[in-house]
Amino acid sequence: MRLLVLSQLQGSPGTEVFLEVARAAGHDVTLVNPLRLLHVAGRAPALPLDAPPDAVFTRMGSATPERGFDVLRGLELAGLPCVNRSAPLRVTRDKTRAYLELAAAGLPLPATVLAAGDADARALQAELGPPPWVLKDPIGTKGNEVRLVPDADALTAELDALGLARRAQLQRFVREAGGRDLRVFVVGGRAVAGVERRAAPGEWRSNLHQGGSAHPAALDARAREVAESCARVLDLDVCGVDLLPSEDGPLVAEVNGSPGLAGLRTAHGDAPVHAVLALLAERVSAARGARAPG
């Protein structure tokens, strides 16, 4: 296949893993920064390629500016199979929007309040349980802009600083997770790999970018069911679903439409990327079949 990988982050470890594995498998792969493409309304974005790609694989997440998603939408309108597509990615890059969809579908989530600057700390405690609480920026990534709020006074100060216009998520702190979560990698609607992420000593966030470590993990039926349901509700072809172990079973901490691949490779080798390549091949075959004369 001729594959276009779309990412504004050149040198990203996860993107480099995909490029390496795809090229070793014999595919012609080009990495392009969508922010550098000429995009005229009504035309496909101009690509620096000798021939059109067969498909597009996106490495675009919370750090991607809106213009990158406009370019992706232009490629979709030109008829290229894109994994993932722009509309689902736009939802999942915003934790609040994603949580609204997941909650409406009945997925298991930690108790969550969409915080407002004039909210009463006592009313919030009634919803969330005792402190500490987790405060998240809806557009944060890699564990950045996520912090623990130790008590009601600190919460009042945080909310006052936010003001009425700022958005934030306030969640129950899942103590029983103990600095661990389960990243489930879903491809084409099927959970294909699990990684337990463990926080570094003295750190409560398990993100690899915060010093966490990745370990192979078996997936039980419930973890598979929840992760695959998240992918279906958010209409994602490829995603990482982060599950927190709790007394009530796995709770969805986050769904990432551009999940890291370096930690997956550490735990599972190249198999997860080959699952993505197989899905891309299916989409290319389907697109060719749709264009074939009837």
Q: Which whole number is the average pLDDT over 160-178?
A: 78
For the record, the structure tokens of 188 come out as 């084409």
Q: Which residue has the higher pLDDT, 209 or 34?
A: 34
Any idea which of 26-30, 203-207, 266-270 has the lowest mean pLDDT? Answer: 203-207
Whether 37 has a pLDDT exceeding 70, the answer reads yes
Query: How many Cβ atoms from other residues are within 10 Å of residue 182's Cβ?
Result: 24
Cα separation, 194 vs 259, whole angstroms: 12
Q: For residue 56, what pLDDT is reported? A: 98
Share of the chain above pLDDT 90, in %: 58
Q: For residue 34, what pLDDT is reported? A: 95
Set out the domains of the chain in order of their start, with CATH numbers: 2-91+274-291 (3.40.50.20), 94-107+176-256 (3.30.470.20), 112-173 (3.30.1490.20)
Whether 108 has a pLDDT exceeding 90, the answer reads yes
pLDDT digits (tens, 9 = 90+) for 192-204: 999 998 876 656 6
Q: Which residue, 258, 252, 211, 269, is CA-closest to 99?
A: 252
Any idea which of 69-73, 135-139, 145-149, 161-165 has the lowest mean pLDDT? Answer: 161-165
Binned at pLDDT 50, 70 and 90, residue 120 comes out as confident
DSSP string, 198-226: EPPTT-----GGGT-EEEE----HHHHHH
pLDDT digits (tens, 9 = 90+) for 73-90: 999 999 999 999 999 999
What is the phi/psi pair of residue 148, to 5°? -90, 135
User: CB of 57 within 8 A of CB of 6?
Assistant: yes
Mean pLDDT computed over every residue of the chain: 88
Reduce the DSSP state of residue 183 to 3 states and report it.
strand
Instruction: Enter the pTM of the model.
Output: 0.90
Cα dihedral 272, 278, 282, 283, rounded to 10, equals 50
Cβ contacts of 81 within 8 Å, gap of 6 or more? 54, 55, 56, 280, 283, 284, 286, 287
